[in-house]
Amino acid sequence: MLKGKTAVVTGSTSGIGLGIARGLAAQGASVMLNGFGDALEIAQMCDGLARVSGAKAAHHSADMSQPSEAAQLIRDTQAKFGGVDILVNNAGIQHVAPIEEFPAEKWDQILAVNLSSSFHTIRAALTGMKKHGWGRIINVASAHGLVGSVQKAAYVAAKHGLVGLTKVVALETAATPVTCNAVCPGWVLTPLVQKQIDAISAREKIPVSAARHKLLAEKQPSLEFATPEQLGGVVVFLCSEAAAQIRGASISVDGGWTAR
């Protein structure tokens, strides 16, 4: 379905982003990975994506907390692959603390990565998408883009902002062949979430399996994690012709979290 298209997926060397990159590659898209990690492992990821897609795959080390590097990621992909047709803004970081104890530098960093980087990549990619007559912008927000939770001031603020940015871009592109939507996962078993599970286990002196159940039971009625592969499937759908008139939507993949 996506043969001849090029996708940029930020924060895609592990977890949700890698699942999305694999989903897009499986549909024939060339993929530019972005993120940190071991160089050899990342090279192997690129080789694997290229084999699956029959197209190209590469990696860009842009630090998404830096506006100039976020924009450069788009320009370098355009130069290397001839354009950016699909932009998935997935990069994200987390810090948990009561607001009166929340370090100001952590607030700035989380807003930079989780929100501002998407502005900079969208700004850099949109003109090319319009010129080529097709584009898909998909922002990976969160259930926390729709509801709040304690001790996550910066993350919740950033993800709510990302949902708002999605709506504005969707409205500004409404009469074009470019769409913009958000995907809002609940708990997905990624390294970031595993750290929270481990913290619960250590703090409450309970087995990791019990900590996992406790985390799910608090928010996610299905008592099951969403998977990176499922999120990849949602992103692929949003790139399809069937989704051409889905614009400015926030699609929840959260096991019922926000249905309450």
Which amino acid belongs to residue 212?
A: R
13-32 burial, b if ≥16 CB within 10 A, otherwise e? bbbbbbbbbbbbbbbebbbb
What φ, ψ does residue 248 adopt, rounded to 5°? 75, 15
Provide, rounded to the nearest whole percent, the portion of the chain with pLDDT above 90.
96
Q: For strand 250-253 and strand 30-34, is the pairing parallel, antiparallel, or unpaired?
A: unpaired
Looking at residue 215, what is its pLDDT? 92
Cα-based torsion angle of the residue sequence 59, 64, 69, 70 in order, rounded to the nearest 10 degrees:
90
- The answer to whether 155 is a known catalytic residue is yes
Looking at residue 195, what is its pLDDT? 87
Question: Coil, strand, or helix at residue 41?
Answer: helix
Looking at residue 137, what is its pLDDT? 98
Looking at residue 177, what is its pLDDT? 98
Question: Coil, strand, or helix at residue 209?
Answer: helix
Q: Which of 155, 187, 225, 257 does the annotation list as catalytic? A: 155
Reported as a single tens digit per residue, the pLDDT across 142-160 is: 999 999 999 999 999 999 9
Q: For strand 250-253 and strand 135-140, is the pairing parallel, antiparallel, or unpaired?
A: unpaired
Reported as a single tens digit per residue, the pLDDT across 92-128 is: 999 999 999 999 999 999 999 999 999 999 999 999 9
Structure tokens at 133: 């007559």
Reported as a single tens digit per residue, the pLDDT across 126-141 is: 999 999 999 999 999 9
Q: How far is CA 170 from CA 53, 91, 123, 217, in A?
A: 29, 20, 13, 34
Reported as a single tens digit per residue, the pLDDT across 167-215 is: 999 999 999 999 999 999 999 988 778 888 999 999 999 999 999 999 9
pTM flag (> 0.85):
yes
How far is 91 from 96, CA to CA, in rounded Å? 17
Reported as a single tens digit per residue, the pLDDT across 12-66 is: 999 999 999 999 999 999 999 999 999 999 999 999 999 999 999 999 999 999 9
How far is 1 from 253, CA to CA, in rounded Å? 23
User: Cβ distance 86 to 239 under 8 Å?
Assistant: yes
Structure tokens at 150: 């304690």
What φ, ψ does residue 190 adopt, rounded to 5°? -115, 170
